[in-house]
Amino acid sequence: MSDHAHESHTGPIKTPAQLLWTSFFSFVAPIFIIIGLVYYVTSGDKPAAGAVDPELATAIRIQRVGSVELRDANRPLQAGDAVYKAQCAACHDSGLAGAPKFGDAAAWAPRVTTGYEALLTSALKGKGAMGAQAGGAFSDIEIGRAVVHMANAGGGKFVEPAAPAAADAAAPATEAAAPAATAAVEVAAAAPIATPAPAAPASATVAAGAGEALYKQACAVCHVAGVAGAPKLADKAAWAPRLALGVDGLTASVIKGKGAMPPKGGSAASDADIQSAVTYMLAAVK
């Protein structure tokens, strides 16, 4: 009876060898298993870290802020509908950020009454969520044509600005130089809409800081207020999952368009300018 009671109070470990193996499997084996798992996780192939990679992050920081690009100042002026599709449709087609929709007479009525000059000034200098359009891919005259295209679709009766040469051609030709110059001045005074902006030099260039300029012109309208899910400028939490794409990946996404963002953000900027704008926005979350 006493032997049976004694056996009932003993455990499964009866020899030193059993104690040694039990200790091994209880403490030592799990440590080796954990080490093996850590090695497996850290040694596997990983997706490109993009901007998180120290070398790429350094490359982004030392990348040029702007770019220099030669443009043909003598190219034909674009028509109002072409400029609208390239520069304005991104917001005015859907009414993003309070922009009056194209063809919405009720929304355009109070704006048309302010006159062409007031509308052109608002477009060139920017108003509300709309960034300044002056100094971008289009000239002031082309922006004016887009303004006329939109305003007339909303009930306006504005005359589209003519090319600079058109005003000179409208002056009656005379044999005397002085009367011809006087006639040209009279034609220009009679049609102020046709007065061109100061002519750009023959070799127009994009100044340093093109990325910031393009951001304010084409990107700020959505990225300042986070319209349609656009990550706000300098919002590190919103930009964090996008940093892994790096400058090249984000540039490609902007060029092709993504979600509510049209290709190139609705602008006619070059790929180099788009990359500068992306770099400018990434620098804001560093």
> What percent of the chain has a predicted confidence (pLDDT) above 70?
69
Q: Is residue 63, in this structure, part of any structural domain at all?
A: no
Mean pLDDT for the stretch of residues 146-172: 75
Q: Is residue 172, in this structure, part of any structural domain at all?
A: no
pTM of the model: 0.43
- Tell me: do 222 and 278 sit in the same domain: yes
- Tell me: do 150 and 232 sit in the same domain: no
Which of the four pLDDT bands, split at 50, 70 and 90, describes residue 205? very low
β-pairing, 203-204 vs 71-72, is: antiparallel
- Tell me: do 200 and 245 sit in the same domain: no
- Tell me: do 112 and 136 sit in the same domain: yes
Per the structure, the count of domains in the chain is 2
- Asked whether 104 and 154 are in contact (CB, 8 A), the reply is yes
Q: Is residue 25, in this structure, part of any structural domain at all?
A: no
- Asked whether 160 and 150 are in contact (CB, 8 A), the reply is no
CATH number of the domain where residue 96 is located? 1.10.760.10
Residues 243, 251: Cα–Cα separation, whole Å: 12
- Tell me: do 132 and 242 sit in the same domain: no
Residues 42-86 pLDDT 10s? 875 555 544 455 665 665 565 555 545 555 567 788 888 888 888
Q: Is residue 144, in this structure, part of any structural domain at all?
A: yes
- Asked whether 109 and 155 are in contact (CB, 8 A), the reply is yes
Question: Residue 229 sits in which domain range?
Answer: 210-283
- Tell me: do 214 and 153 sit in the same domain: no
- Tell me: do 146 and 217 sit in the same domain: no
